[in-house]
A and B are shown apart, each in its own frame.
Chain A
Amino acid sequence: MNFSPTKEQLMVRKMIKQFAHNEMKPIAQLTDEEARYPQETIDKLGKLGVMGMPMPKEYGGAESDYVAYAGAIEELSKVCSSTGLIVQTHVALCCWPILTFGTQEQKRKYLPDLVAGRKLGAFALTEANAGTDAAGLQTKAVDMGDHWVLNGTKAFLSAAGIADVYIVMAMTDKSKGTKGISAFIIEKGTPGFNRGKKEDKMGIRGSLMAEQIIKDCIIPKENLLGEVGKGFKVAMASLDVGRLGVACQALGIAQGAFDETVKYMKSRKQFGKSLDKFQALAFEMADMKTRLDCTRLLILNAADRRDKGLPCTTETAEAKLYASETAVYVTNKAVQFHGGYGYTKDYPVERMMRDAKITEIYEGTSEVMRMVISGDIFR
């Protein structure tokens, strides 16, 4: 593993940092307050090639490495983690499974628009009674000979109704448990495929999350993604990429809150001196900095293994587990160190603390991460 970033990795970080500062920072607070989807930012990121950066050149990507991609998601999330999430979900849970499991026709049909950011992707696995326990999926797909018919309701779907291309998990054979799950590509506008209730969320409020109702939805045969009964594999492999993104998102939130706190501590005076002169607080900042750097190294390890084509499920789970718990820990301290001001919306750490929590929950909870890691220990 190379601990020194490459020229490209440095340049990607620099470019995203400039972009986030100029284009995202001015609207980050409003995005949260109004729970407004940052469409203009996503359009701009599409033009800059961020929406499909690790995808192959033949589909319009830059074939960037995942270490650079990780840096990009971190830099976006430092300023607005809703935007970081939108990008990472699109890349990891829609572009990536189509590239990896799709037929030539599916790749040619969907990837160019997705990679260019002209279309947005989404991923639908979770339901009211099934998420972690994927075998409990209720959404059914029935083979009608020349087409499929899907019925069910998906829950907590990011970009529901906004996204153009959805990867949807449905049971093709309930008796086989997870081996009876298949993956499908459903396009926005398909009759019977509609957004349900929007969720009013605690954090990442700029990223829309809602129910998606699938009612007698006719799906062409060629929209099966991968083989029948292999949908669980599609979902789990995609979530490995997604967990890397969530780890980077969590790191971005934590680093953003940390940087805000450093700035605040230098300017805030109490008892005749600035807060950074109080050793009790400064030592806690040292602990936080150490945890941030640990997180960064875990992410580097997971991303580097992905770049080299090595197995990385456990390493990614470790990165996601540690990053998300660090994000919750650091943002909590950041609010504490800002005192009463930290509890108000005048300072971004309030938003960051709310944004951090979800990283311990989605794309596999911390409990699931521990299942993955311990499962690997006691194989």
Chain B
Amino acid sequence: MKIIVCAKQVPDTTEVKIDKVKNTLIRDSAPSIMNYEDENALEEALRIKEQFPDSYITVISMGPPQAKDMLEECIAQGADEAILISDRELVGSDTWATSNVLAAGIRKLSGFDLILTGRQAIDGDTAQVGPQLAEKLGIPQVTYVKEVTVNDNEIIAKRTLENGYETLKLKTPCLLTVTRELNQPRYMTIKGIYNVKNQEIKVWNIKDINVDLTEVGLDASPTKVVESFVPTSKGKGTVIEADSAKEKVAILLEKLKEKHI
């Protein structure tokens, strides 16, 4: 099975600081990491490879040159090949432009059976690139996948819903966007780390992929960021202190009555 994993390098938003004047992320304040759900996508690919050992895993990413570090870690975890699409012309691409680039990169590869990618990236939370990519490649997709079963050319995916899940059956080739529930990503291995030097990370620019320049980059992106801001806190919660649960409930009811709730 030929598996493609789409991954993004993102700032670790749990550590990121925000410029209080400009209201933008201070990129240098946080280390760059692989987007969490993309790690789950890679992990699932590695598990499928354990089940079908002749599988081949290609990780593909669009990003700045330093995203190579993330791809090297993918190799150290067990991916067979990694490709970085990096070009100054791509800076500022929104989800539509990004999916154009990824689709062009994937078309250059010699076919695939399954594309796995994270549901969304923690820096943008759009959850759009995966679905757009499937549309542009003309393949079926299932989003928010929390469980995957692979039988020959058939994929069974459990898709998370607000109040449960639905089970869908797909023919390959297809695309799944996955959630963190899906699995527990593995660590790099020492052997994997020392294998990285034998695996060149391919770096493609826009000339290497067949993409129209009018469809990528900031100018071609239909989404314009008008403003970024830190949401204001909605006020603090109150802890009701009293000796017994009964008293606490009484105070709570009193307060709710005051607010006419």
Show the binding face of A for B, using Cβ within 8 Å: 7-8, 11-12, 14-15, 18-19, 47-50, 53, 62-64
Query: A53 vs B73: C-alpha distance in the bound complex, in angstroms?
Result: 18
Residue in chain B with minimal CB distance to A52? B190
**B196 within 8 A of partner (CB):** yes
Cross-chain contact B187 with A15 (CB below 8 angstroms): yes
Would you list which residues of chain B between 158 and 195 have a CB under 8 Å from chain A?
187-194
Cross-chain contact B196 with A15 (CB below 8 angstroms): no
**B44 within 8 A of partner (CB):** no
Contact residue among B72, B187, B191 (Cβ-Cβ distance under 8 Å from A62): B191
Cross-chain contact A15 with B194 (CB below 8 angstroms): no
Cross-chain contact B187 with A11 (CB below 8 angstroms): no
**B157 within 8 A of partner (CB):** no
Query: A63 vs B190: C-alpha distance in the bound complex, in angstroms?
Result: 9
Could you give 7 example pairs across A and B, Cβ below 8 Å? A7-B197, A8-B197, A11-B193, A12-B193, A47-B189, A62-B191, A62-B193
**B97 within 8 A of partner (CB):** no
Query: A137 vs B90: C-alpha distance in the bound complex, in angstroms?
Result: 71
Cross-chain contact B191 with A49 (CB below 8 angstroms): yes
Cross-chain contact B187 with A64 (CB below 8 angstroms): no
Show the binding face of B for A, using Cβ within 8 Å: 72-73, 76, 187-194, 196-197
Cross-chain contact A48 with B190 (CB below 8 angstroms): yes
Task: Return chain B residues, CB-CB under 8 Å to A19.
Answer: 187
| Given A7-B72, A11-B73, A11-B76, A48-B194 contact (CB < 8 Å) | no
Task: Return chain B residues, CB-CB under 8 Å to A14.
Answer: 73, 188
Distance in angstroms from A2 CB to nearest chain B CB is 16
**Total contacts A to B, CB within 8 angstroms?**
45
Query: A62 vs B197: C-alpha distance in the bound complex, in angstroms?
Result: 12
Closest 10 CB pairs of A and B: A49-B190, A62-B190, A15-B188, A62-B191, A62-B194, A11-B193, A53-B190, A49-B189, A49-B191, A48-B189
Chain A interface mostly: helix
Task: Return chain B residues, CB-CB under 8 Å to A7.
Answer: 72, 196-197
Task: Return chain B residues, CB-CB under 8 Å to A50.
Answer: 190
Query: A187 vs B215: C-alpha distance in the bound complex, in angstroms?
Result: 68
Cross-chain contact B72 with A11 (CB below 8 angstroms): yes
Query: A62 vs B193: C-alpha distance in the bound complex, in angstroms?
Result: 9
Distance in angstroms from A50 CB to nearest chain B CB is 6
Task: Return chain A residues, CB-CB under 8 Å to B76.
Answer: 11, 15
Residue in chain A with minimal CB distance to B184? A22
Cross-chain contact B189 with A11 (CB below 8 angstroms): no
Query: A159 vs B76: C-alpha distance in the bound complex, in angstroms?
Result: 31
Task: Return chain B residues, CB-CB under 8 Å to A47.
Answer: 189
Distance in angstroms from A66 CB to nearest chain B CB is 13
**A14-B73, A19-B187, A64-B193 known; 18 other A-B pairs, CB under 8 Å?**
A7-B72, A7-B196, A8-B194, A11-B76, A11-B188, A14-B188, A15-B76, A15-B187, A15-B189, A15-B193, A47-B189, A48-B190, A49-B189, A49-B192, A62-B189, A62-B190, A64-B190, A64-B194
Query: A47 vs B188: C-alpha distance in the bound complex, in angstroms?
Result: 11
Task: Return chain B residues, CB-CB under 8 Å to A11.
Answer: 72-73, 76, 188, 193, 196
Candidate in B189, B190, B192, B194 with the most chain A CB atoms within 10 angstroms: B190
Task: Return chain A residues, CB-CB under 8 Å to B189.
Answer: 15, 47-49, 62
| Given A7-B72, A7-B196, A12-B190 contact (CB < 8 Å) | yes
Candidate in B73, B76, B189, B194 with the most chain A CB atoms within 10 angstroms: B194
Distance in angstroms from A85 CB to nearest chain B CB is 19
Distance in angstroms from A64 CB to nearest chain B CB is 6
Query: A64 vs B193: C-alpha distance in the bound complex, in angstroms?
Result: 9
Query: A220 vs B45: C-alpha distance in the bound complex, in angstroms?
Result: 48
Distance in angstroms from A219 CB to nearest chain B CB is 33
Query: A216 vs B80: C-alpha distance in the bound complex, in angstroms?
Result: 54
Task: Return chain A residues, CB-CB under 8 Å to B193.
Answer: 8, 11-12, 15, 62, 64
Distance in angstroms from B190 CB to nearest chain A CB is 4
Query: A47 vs B72: C-alpha distance in the bound complex, in angstroms?
Result: 20
Task: Return chain A residues, CB-CB under 8 Å to B188.
Answer: 11, 14-15, 48
Query: A47 vs B78: C-alpha distance in the bound complex, in angstroms?
Result: 14
Distance in angstroms from A53 CB to nearest chain B CB is 5
Query: A19 vs B188: C-alpha distance in the bound complex, in angstroms?
Result: 10
Residue in chain A with minimal CB distance to B190? A49
Task: Return chain A residues, CB-CB under 8 Å to B191.
Answer: 49, 62
Task: Return chain B residues, CB-CB under 8 Å to A18.
Answer: 187
Residue in chain A with minimal CB distance to B76? A11
Query: A365 vs B190: C-alpha distance in the bound complex, in angstroms?
Result: 32
Candidate in A7, A19, A50, A64 with the most chain B CB atoms within 10 angstroms: A7
